[in-house]
Amino acid sequence: MFQKILIANRGEIALRVLRACKELGIQTVVVHSTADADAMHVRLADESVCIGPPPSRDSYLNIHQIVAACEITGADAVHPGYGFLSENAKFADILAAHNITFIGPSGDHIRIMGDKIEAKRTAKRLGIPVVPGSDGAVTEEKDAKRIAAEIGYPVIIKASAGGGGRGMKVARSEADLVVALQTARSEAGAAFGDDAVYIEKYLEKPRHIEVQVFGDGAGRGVHFGERDCSLQRRHQKVWEEAPSPALNAEERAHIGGVCARAIADLGYSGAGTIEFLYENGEFYFIEMNTRLQVEHPVTEAIAGIDLVHEQIRVASGGGLSVRQEEIRFQGHAIECRINAEDPRTFTPSPGTITHFHTPGGLGIRVDSGVYSGYKIPPYYDSLIGKLIVHGRNRVECMMRLRRALDEFVVDGIKTTLPLFRDLVGNPDIANGEYDIHWLEKYLAKED
Ligand code: ADP
C-alpha cells in the first residue's frame, strides 16, 4: 500500500480523495494555486505545496511543478481526481518514468480513449455496440455526403479530440452537412489543435446512460451498474441518478456484462466509465472516460462501495476487493450538481459565501469544499458542491431530496439550488420520463 498520496486537484474532489486516504491510513499531500491557499483541501491535508499562480495552466496543469512537489514531499502516488490532468497520458507516462504511481489506467489506455475515433474502433472490436457512422475521420465533402446518405439524416459531426460537450454540429440535410463539416473542422482545429472529425447518426430522443467499470489490470473486469445522466444543459450533466429509471434488470445485467468483459479483454486498470446513448431499447457507445466521474457517488450509494478506496487498492497492486457476484444494488440515489451560477442564465457567480448550511439526516451526503466565509475564486469550474440522496426506492429518494433541498442554505452568491427545487416538483422528473433534450426544452419554456 502507498505511504503518501499527492492529490493533484482542488475543490470537492480533492476533499473526496483526501477522505479516502485518511480512512486507509495514507498520508496526504495537496497542491494548490495561490488563489486556493484558504481552500478546505489545503486546511485538511497533512502537507501542502503551492505550485503556482491562479491560472490552471500555471498551477493545476503544470506537470513539472506537480512532479517536483512529489519529489520534495516523497509522495509515492498521485490521484488526479477528474478534469485537469486526469486524462493526460503524458502526465501518466512522466509519473511512471519517475517511479511515482498514477492512480488511474496506463498512459496507453488513456491515449486510446482520449481519441474518440480510436475509442470507437476499440469499443467495436471489444463487442460494445456503437452509434452507426463513419469508420474513421472524414475530411472530404463527398465522403461525408455518402456516409450521411447511408446512415440517414440527421447526423452529428463530432471532433475526435472533443470533450466537455464541445465541438459537435448537427446536420439535418445535405446542405447543412457541407457547412457543418467545415465549421466543425475549423472549430476542432482551433479548440483542440486537431481538426479530425467523424460522423454519427444523430439520435433524436436518447437517454444518456453510462456504466461504471473497474479493471484490475490483470484481466479481471467488473461493473457497478449504470447511471442515468440525461438531464443536461449544453451537453453538461446537471442531475444524475442510479439506477436509470429507464432500464429493467435484464438490460442492466446485459450491458453491464458486455462492459465488464470489454474491460477485462482490454487489460484495463482502475476506474472507467463507458458512456452510451440509449434509445428504443438499444445502447450506442459514445465514449469512455478513463477516470473517476463527478457523479460517482450515486453508484457508491447504491453499491455501498467506496470507489476511491477501490482505485487506490487497484493502483497499489492489491486488486479489486469484490467479485461481480458480490456487487449488489440497494435502493435509488440522485445527485444534484450545485454550481455557483445564476439558476436562470447560468452565468458564474463567484464571491464570498456568507452562510453555508448543509442538510443532514439518513441518506444524505454532501460533497463540498466550501464553508461559511469562503471566497470562491473566479478562475475555476463553478461546481461548489454535490448533494447526493439515497432512498429505498425512487419515490423515497425524491421525497428525501425535496426535504434536503429545502434545508440547504448558501447565502452571498447565486447557486443552481432553485433549479433543483423546481425540478424535484416536476411531473416528468417524478415519473423519470426525460431524455437528453428535456432540460434544455424546460429551461427555454421557463424563460
Ligand atoms: P463530450 O466528450 O464532449 O462530452 P460525448 O461524445 O460524450 O462528448 O457527447 C456528449 C453529449 O452530446 C451526449 O451526452 C449527448 O447529449 C450528445 N450527443 C453525442 N453524440 C450524440 C449522437 N450521436 N446523437 C445525439 N446526441 C449526441
Domain of 53, CATH number, reads 3.40.50.20
Q: Which CATH number does the domain housing residue 223 bear? A: 3.30.470.20
Atom 21 in ligand 1: residue holding the nearest Cα:
202
pLDDT above 90 covers a percentage of the chain that reads 97
Q: What are phi and psi of 119, to 5 degrees?
A: -60, -45
Is the CB–ligand 1 distance for residue 397 below 6 Å? Answer: no
By alpha-carbon position, which residue is closest to atom 2 of ligand 1? 163
Does a structural domain hold residue 127?
no
CA separation for the pair 391, 431 (Å, rounded): 16
Q: What is the per-residue pLDDT for 315?
A: 98
Whether 319 lines ligand 1, by a CB cut-off of 6 Å, is no
Co-location of 150 and 24 in the same domain: no
Q: 299 and 156: one domain?
A: no
CATH number at residue 180: 3.30.1490.20
The answer to whether the CB of 336 is under 6 A from ligand 1 is: no
Of 10, 111, 252, 291, the active-site residue reads: 291
CA contacts within 13 A on the Cβ side of 279: 15
Record the cell numbers describing residue 166, joined without a space: 464541445
Query: Tens of pLDDT along 216-227?
Result: 999 999 999 999
Ligand 1 atom closest to Cα of residue 165: 3
Q: Which helix (H) or strand (E) holds 392?
A: none
The reply to whether ligand 1 has any atom less than 6 angstroms from the CB of 232 is yes
| Residue 291 annotated as catalytic | yes
Mean pLDDT of the chain: 97
Q: What is the mean pLDDT of residues 249-264?
A: 97
Residue 447 predicted with pLDDT over 80: no
For residues 202 and 177, give the distance between their C-alpha atoms in angstroms, rounded to a whole number: 12
In the predicted structure, residue 58 carries a pLDDT above the cut 80: yes
Indicate whether 114 belongs to any domain. no
Select from 172, 201, 230 the last residue of a domain: 201
Residue 166: pLDDT band with limits 50, 70, 90: confident
Query: What is the pLDDT at residue 335?
Result: 99
Residues 142-147, mean pLDDT to the nearest whole number: 95
> Does 158 lie in the same domain as 294?
no
Q: Is residue 118 part of a domain?
A: no
Residue of 271, 265, 152 whose CA lies nearest to 201 = 152
Same domain flag for 194 and 213? no
What integer pLDDT is reported at residue 107 of this predicted model?
Answer: 97
Measured in Å, residue 165 CA sits from the centre of ligand 1 at 7
The alpha carbon of 183 and the centre of ligand 1 are apart by a number of angstroms equal to 17
Identity of residue 261? R
Counting from 1 in the atom list of ligand 1, the atom nearest the Cα of 202 is 24
Would 287 be classed as within a structural domain? yes
Pocket residue to mutate for ligand 1, from 168, 172, 202, most atoms within 8 A of Cβ: 168
Give me the domain span that covers residue 16: 4-103
- Which of 87, 286, 435 best tests ligand 1's pocket when mutated (most atoms within 8 Å of CB)? 286
Residues 427-431 have a mean pLDDT of: 98
195 and 312 fall within a common domain: no
Q: Report the separation in Å between the CA atom of 375 and the middle of ligand 1, taken as the mean of its atom positions.
A: 34
Instruction: State mean pLDDT over 201-211.
Output: 97
Does residue 62 carry a pLDDT above 90?
yes
DSSP SS3 for 223: strand
251, 149: one domain: no
Nearest CA to ligand 1 atom 6: 286
- Residue 35 located in a structural domain: yes
Give me the residues paired with residue 207 across strands. 278
Per DSSP, 133 falls in state B
**Ligand 1 atom having least distance to the Cα of 436:** 16
> Is 315 inside a domain boundary?
yes
**Do 258 and 174 belong together in one domain?**
no
Question: Would 111 be classed as within a structural domain?
Answer: no
Reported as a pLDDT band with limits 50, 70 and 90, residue 329 is very high
Report pLDDT for 152: 95
Q: Looking at the structure, tell me whether residues 191 and 248 fall in a common domain.
A: no
Residue 446 binned pLDDT confidence (cut-offs 50, 70, 90): confident
Ligand 1 atom with the smallest distance to the CA of 200 is 23
pLDDT at 188: 92
User: Are residues 301 and 414 located together in one domain of the fold?
Assistant: yes
Q: Which of 214, 211, 212, 213 is nearest to 318 (CA)?
A: 214
pLDDT at residue 167 is higher than 80: no
Ligand 1 centre from 286 Cα, in Å? 7
Say if residue 80 is in the same domain as residue 141. no
Q: What is the pLDDT of residues 7-30, one digit of tens each?
A: 999 999 999 999 999 999 999 999
Closest Cα to atom 8 of ligand 1: 165
CA-to-CA dists, residue 390 to 72, 180, 302, 385, angstroms: 41, 43, 8, 16
> Given pLDDT bands bounded at 50, 70 and 90, which one contains residue 183?
very high
Q: Is the CB of 114 under 6 A from ligand 1?
A: no
Compute the distance from residue 17 Cα to the ligand 1 centre, in Å: 28
Best of 210, 237, 277 for a ligand 1 pocket test (most atoms within 8 Å of beta carbon): 277
At 164, is the pLDDT very low, low, confident or very high (cuts 50, 70, 90)?
Answer: confident
Q: Are residues 165 and 217 in the same domain?
A: no
- The residue that leads in pLDDT, 379 or 235, is 379
Q: How many domains does the chain have?
A: 3
Measure 331 CA to ligand 1 centroid, in angstroms: 28
- The mean pLDDT value for 423-437 works out to 98
* Ramachandran assignment for 124, one of left (phi > 0), alpha (psi -120 to 50 degrees), beta (any other): alpha
The arithmetic mean of pLDDT across residues 310-314, rounded, is 98
Which residue has the least CA distance to atom 13 on ligand 1?
A: 235
Predicted pLDDT of residue 353: 98
Above 90 in pLDDT, residue 91? yes
334: buried, middle or exposed (CB in 10 Å: 19+, 13-18, 0-12)? buried
Q: How confident is the model at residue 215 (pLDDT cuts 50, 70, 90)?
A: very high
For residue 14, give every residue at least 6 positions away whose Cβ sits within 8 Å of its Cβ, in sequence order, or none.
7, 30, 39, 41, 81, 369
**Does residue 121 form part of some domain?**
no
- Alpha-carbon distance of 33 to 127, in angstroms, equals 43
Residue 324 in this model has a pLDDT that exceeds 80: yes
Statement to judge: residues 286 and 142 lie in one domain: no
What gap in Å lies between CA 67 and CA 51, rounded to an integer? 10
> Does residue 129 surpass a pLDDT of 80?
yes
Q: Is residue 134 lining ligand 1, measured as CB closer than 6 Å?
A: no
